[in-house]
């Protein structure tokens, strides 16, 4: 199959970039999207041209580093999956595909398709942890957790911090990401001791990083590869208001 690619190119250290056209032929529908970009880069290197810079790591839908906006959709056209899980059979022969980085003030473009998502790291460092000394690992059943609570906490812990929620939000809000981290720990006994300080610190850091406010459009949950529920944002808001009064 043949695909016509329009890829955002931006040199490192520069604030302006533009889309460049590339045509890839003789592609297998069974190739992953990232394998196609690998092939493109091999061709560019063979032509002594600068390859396209893009993030990738595990390629198993776990790490979230393969963050691209494809035809206007963070991570591509399919719900509940990352770019590395996208295959070329999802596109038509001779289709035009627009590929660009996540767009947000708090995610400045470093080069081509790579953005700086260290704002998420600073939010985590501000309070998304349990600081008590637990000593050696306790026996698995020594702290009882209701099954429903454990499953709900795990569903929020599944957040991979890719930033798709920010990229799709018209306000570039990080509320779903922060809410997932707050909810994960607030639901478990180990996280309850610090839950008031945690939500205050994380929300404050989120605002400091320049993320926008949440207006509950629901786009973030739909774009999330792990399909984190909007209920987490409601819980974060409840925890926040209980903590300031």
Domain range annotation of the chain: 3-111, 118-243
Are 28 and 61 a contacting pair, CB within 8 Å? Answer: no
Going by the DSSP 8-state scheme, the letter that residue 174 receives in this structure is -
Flag whether the pTM goes above 0.85. yes
Alpha-carbon gap, residue 67 to 89, rounded angstroms:
20
* Nearest of 154, 153, 150 to residue 141 by alpha carbon: 150
Q: Please say whether the structural domain 118-243 has been given the CATH code 3.30.1330.60.
A: no
Q: What was the pLDDT predicted at 142?
A: 77
pLDDT at residue number 138: 72
Beta bridge partners of 86: none
Cβ burial, residue 144 (10 Å; 0-12/13-18/19+): exposed
CA distance 47 to 2: 20
- Residue whose entry in the numeric block shows the structure tokens 């509940």: 80
DSSP letter for each residue of 125-176: HHH-S--S---SPPPTTSS---HHHHHHHHHHHT-----HHHHH-TT-B-HH
Short-list 189, 176, 168, CA closest to 233: 176
- The per-residue pLDDT for 133 is 72
CB neighbourhood size of 225 (10 A): 27
pLDDT of the residue at 192: 87
SS3 41: helix
What is the model's pLDDT at position 134? Answer: 64
- Per CATH, 3-111 and 118-243 having the same topology is answered no
What is the block-wise mean pLDDT of the chain (245 residues), using blocks of 10 residues? 97 93 96 97 97 95 94 96 96 97 96 97 93 73 84 94 97 97 91 92 97 95 95 94 90
Please tell us whether the domain made up of 3-111 is placed in CATH 3.40.190.10.
no
């Amino acid at each position: 199959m043949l695909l016509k690619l329009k890829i955002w190119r931006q040199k490192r250290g520069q604030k302006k970039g533009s889309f460049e056209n590339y045509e890839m032929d003789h592609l297998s529908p069974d190739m992953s999207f990232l394998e196609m970009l690998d092939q493109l880069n091999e061709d560019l290197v063979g032509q002594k041209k600068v390859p396209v810079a893009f993030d990738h790591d595990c390629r198993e839908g776990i790490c979230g580093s393969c963050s691209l906006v494809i035809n206007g959709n963070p991570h591509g056209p399919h719900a509940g999956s990352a770019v590395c899980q996208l295959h070329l059979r999802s596109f038509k022969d001779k289709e035009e595909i627009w590929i660009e980085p996540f767009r947000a003030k708090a995610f400045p473009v470093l080069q081509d398709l790579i953005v700086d998502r260290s704002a998420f790291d600073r939010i985590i460092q501000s309070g998304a942890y349990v600081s008590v000394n637990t000593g050696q690992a306790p026996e698995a059943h020594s702290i009882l957790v209701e099954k429903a609570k454990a499953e709900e906490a795990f569903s929020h812990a599944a957040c991979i911090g890719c930033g798709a929620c920010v990229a799709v939000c018209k306000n570039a809000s990080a509320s779903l990401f922060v809410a997932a981290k707050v909810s994960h720990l607030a639901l478990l006994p180990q996280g309850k001791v610090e839950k008031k300080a945690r939500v205050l610190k994380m929300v404050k850091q989120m605002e400091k990083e320049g993320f926008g406010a949440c207006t509950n459009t629901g786009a973030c949950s739909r774009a999330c590869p792990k399909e984190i529920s909007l209920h987490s944002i409601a819980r974060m808001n409840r925890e926040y208001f209980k903590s300031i009064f």
